[in-house]
Structure 1
Amino acid sequence: MRYVTPTRSAHRAAPAGGLPLPIRFPARGQHRRRSRRHLRREPLTTHLFTRGLAGLIVLGIVVMLGVLIVADDRRSPAQLASAEVDARIATREVDPAPLRADEVFPAGGTAFGVTRSDLTVDCSLAAGGALRTTLQRYGCSQAVRAALTVPYADYRITAGLLNLPDTTSAMAVGDQVRYLVETGDGSFTDMSGSATGPGTPVLWRTRGHYVMYCVITGPSGELVAPDAPQVAQLAHDILDTHLHDTVLIRRAS
């Protein structure tokens, strides 16, 4: 006896224990049209979503770059790194703009008053004794000086900023100032050009290719004790806060 395996059509058409059921096949092309319509809708939605997401990403990048650029432009001078300041005012080649009197000692300052200021290319006018030849030897090109007053002390104050070729020259001048002041062989002068006597407080700093200094005497030129409390305050206000932080750091920025 032979056994015949039902065909697939027979299995579908005649369930076990039941009457044959009619099988309905989709009309030709019907399933294909539905699939194509579905495929057309799905890629369009995905494409729009992808384009929108890409646009948001690009917008975010543009906004971020704008914020970074503005933040960099708006950096305060105090936010500059010390190495960055040193690099920007290391030499006249990288910092070629000459000093201006109103840049160094502007009128109307709140911390001190400016009674007189001048700018000279003859730096020897700002010094006496052997310091004059020292400034010439190391190539000082500008001296900006001013006579200042402060509200908390009745002193005659002369402050100045010297323009040297580079950091090495400025530091060498600073070392010479220390030696000459200690030996009495040279020092900075007041605005009249008069030499200051031994023991007169002479304060100085160097930064980049600049030398900052301050000479302090009594209202009539008399000697002021170097350990007077106002002397330390003057060094902070004039040298550290004004000449260094306001003038040089701003110049570096």
Structure 2
Amino acid sequence: MRLSAVGQHRRRSAWFRPHRHLRREPHRAAHLLTRGLAGLIVLGILVMVGVLAVAEDRRTPARLASAEVDARIASRAVDPAPLSEAEVFPAGSAAFGVTQSSLTADCALAASGALRTTLLRYGCSQAVRAVLTVPYADYRITAGVLNLPDAAGATAVGDEIRVLVETDDGGFADITGAATGPGTPVLWRTRGHYVLYCVITGPDGGLVPADAPQVARVTRELLDAHLYDNVLVRRAG
């Protein structure tokens, strides 16, 4: 009987020991899960801080690069290479189609009215022009780049363009040299020693509303994204 009792006691101990172990398992799993979640949170914070730091690093050089671009195209003295048609209006662009292009040393051909004498007075040496189409509007766009001696001259020309266009005393001509009618959207930018511009009409030369949303898109994609970012920034680099 003692042996039997001892044997039963041993079996009873062996029976209860796993139950005590099983009661501990959920607590250990919850503890491990909590530690894992805490680790993920810390890792997420570190990743976020790293992304913000990289973004800030990228923004700062971008501002410095823009200033350097302006310095490298500030005048013909530091940017002496003449423009070419292929550089300014390359074939095969996804943003626009080129139906005709022209390069001339007579900048007056690109202008009408009093702007002709203004360009001669400030020493414009090149006018690179093209007739363009865009896939999102039925427009006929005459765009161009004028090569002035320096940034001061380009800025002065830009100021006179504003006055002449507002008073209808001058502006930019289409590729044939014909003056465009009053109210035609005329858009321009001065960048370094260059004046970038475009004139927008309907396919038959008709008037396009200046507040049409496609006009703003032309300005953004043609003058800013292409002529400045793709042409002048590349030239400065």
**TM superposition score normalised by structure 2:** 0.73
CA distance in 2, matches of 1:109, 1:223: 26
| Aligned partner (choices 152, 155, 162) of residue 139 of structure 2 | 155
Q: 2:160 matched to which residue of 1? A: 176
CA distance in 2, matches of 1:159, 1:148: 7
Q: 2:194 matched to which residue of 1? A: 210
1:137 aligns with 2:140: no
The one-letter code sitting in structure 2 at the alignment partner of 1:85 is V
CA distance in 2, matches of 1:221, 1:80: 42
1:236 aligns with 2:217: no
CA distance in 1, matches of 2:202, 2:94: 22
- Please list the CA deviations of residues 63-113 of structure 1 after superposition, one character each: whole Å capped at 9, or x if unmatched: xxxxxxxxxxxxxx9686222111100000000000011000001111100
Change (3 A) 1:148 1:133: same
CA contact (8 A) 1:78 1:249 kept: no
Q: CA shift at 1:192, angstroms? A: 1.2
Q: 1:118 matched to which residue of 2? A: 102
Q: 1:91 matched to which residue of 2? A: 75
The one-letter code sitting in structure 2 at the alignment partner of 1:250 is R
Q: Which runs of 4+ in 1 moved over 6 A?
A: none
Q: 1:185 matched to which residue of 2? A: 169
The one-letter code sitting in structure 2 at the alignment partner of 1:189 is A
CA distance in 2, matches of 1:240, 1:197: 25
CA distance in 2, matches of 1:80, 1:251: 17
CA distance in 1, matches of 2:81, 2:140: 30
CA distance in 1, matches of 2:76, 2:156: 16
> Which ranges of structure 2 fall in alignment gaps of 5 or more residues?
1-60
The one-letter code sitting in structure 2 at the alignment partner of 1:224 is V
Change (3 A) 1:233 1:193: same
CA RMSD of aligned residues (A): 1.3
CA distance in 2, matches of 1:146, 1:80: 32
CA contact (8 A) 1:155 1:219 kept: yes
CA distance in 2, matches of 1:187, 1:252: 28
User: Structure 1 vs Structure 2: percent identity of aligned residues?
Assistant: 75
| Aligned partner (choices 207, 212, 225) of residue 223 of structure 1 | 207
CA contact (8 A) 1:121 1:141 kept: yes
More helix by share: 2
Q: CA shift at 1:181, angstroms? A: 0.1
CA distance in 2, matches of 1:190, 1:126: 7
1:105 aligns with 2:93: no
CA distance in 1, matches of 2:140, 2:134: 9
CA distance in 2, matches of 1:157, 1:86: 27
CA distance in 2, matches of 1:87, 1:157: 30
